[in-house]
Chain A
Amino acid sequence: MIEVKGASKQFGTVTAVRDLTFRVEEGEVYGLLGENGAGKTTTMRMMATILTPTAGDIEISGFSVREQPLEVRRRIGILFGGEVGLYSRLTARENIAYFGNLYGLTSSRVQERIDNLSRMLDMEAFIDRRVGAFSRGMKQKVAIARTLVHDPDVILLDEPTTGLDVTAATIFRRMVTRLQEEGKTILFSSHNMGEISKLCKRIALMHKGKLRFSGDLAALRKQYGTDDLDDIFMAVVEGGEL
């Protein structure tokens, strides 16, 4: 469960996120939608305790990002889009194992998790090769495995399909569905309304650091009387508060 309670983040005179409040239920795939620079990554970074909210708080599985950052980190797995952040001189297995060890898993548990994830993500052919020469899709698989190695309850996916081709993006979405079936709580950020609608029933829509909508996607469609999600997005963004 993720509970954002009036969280704000200010960098000098710039307010990146202003008074954000929404709640993601346990076992839910929740969409965080917004254009580039809307404040999605800053929000995710606050959830991951890399940044501290200037005001308000965020609770992950009941732990405050302000007061109990280590407890929060133990329960989350975060995947960034774009640069996937892997050690290119290490093999896929070494990359995943490194994080497994940092999360305090025993060596046998780490190997067991790597074997499972390697099967699930179809990585067996390249698990012992150095990641430097991998394609974008292969790297993304390794990054997913690294995010999931400690079997987190809450998974934060920040624009995870950026740079992926259609096949890789589809495989990725299938994996998200599978993780939801396992009962994981997932926050999926994207600037692509179409992608969000394929995975999420509920969304939060951000624009220029502010929350413009949070709630049921079907209700949003009904309210605007259209299924064209891009039109809805533009109407919400341009129309201000609903």
Chain B
Amino acid sequence: MLEIVSSRNNPLVDPWLHVWGWEIPFYLFLGGWVAGMMVLSGYFLLKGRERQRRCVCFALPLFGLVLLSLGMLSLFLDLEHKPYVFRLYLTVEPLSPMSWGSWILVLVYPVLVANVLLQPPALAVAAWPRLGSLSRRFAARRGVVRAVGGASVLAGTALGIYTGILLSALGARPLWNSALLGPLFLVSGLSCGAAFSHMVARDVEERTALARADNLFLSVELGLFALYLIGLLSASEAHLEATRLLLGGPFTGVFWVFVVGLGVVIPLLIQVLAVSHRIAHTPVAPLLVLAGGLALRFVIVYAGQWSRWPQT
């Protein structure tokens, strides 16, 4: 037997670590979602298919700006020493994923703005007519459109992967110690981006194409879930112990029901039926995908903090 009695009782640390509340998973979700939208938008701009994918190429970046700003606000709310936030931008710490993240966010904003400028919202053009002529000049140059597309794919991929690497770099929490967390969060973000555009696009052909893309992302996400769990199960005792949180432990129900079941499997089934014309397209599937993406971040962040190296 092993019984440990400690006199320590530090807030946010004992009896188990709970330093990150709703703010961090919410930010990771919004960051991943925006990353997915940027990659999709950039991909179609690079391919020169912006006329067939108007919602993805021109509406999503605007949503992206709003959502990313919400995410940044959430991140700011999490900080305990808020007046010193500017310190993030006085240094580059090459070994700190959080430092890369703060600089990636600086890169993402101008890329999103450049993407919005390719076709600004009608309201903005009405208010500033010069904006319309400027954007028409940009959009007419293929090189500019391709450059914006390429930058969007690169910045979006970096943003999406970093949200996972941020956690996996913290070796003290075995549940996060997987190189697959970055790709998993990126694919989940792509799935959220595709699901959202599937929901808001008006063009039927565009909606169907995005539902198809989402089915691919959801299938890959399922595979990554399996590899993530297999990887942890075949690692050290600490990782086995951590995986038990999702396989029989306190986070099992919420992980399998809300993340895997309602967040991936059910919407995948609905969308497979929809793209094969057996049922009509419905916003239920995309909404479930978005809720599943949010639940994934909450489960991983909360369960990860719970996991620790065995105190033997």
Task: Note whether A and B form a binding pair.
Answer: no
**Which of B's residues lie within 8 Å of A, judged by CB?**
none
**Which of A's residues lie within 8 Å of B, judged by CB?**
none
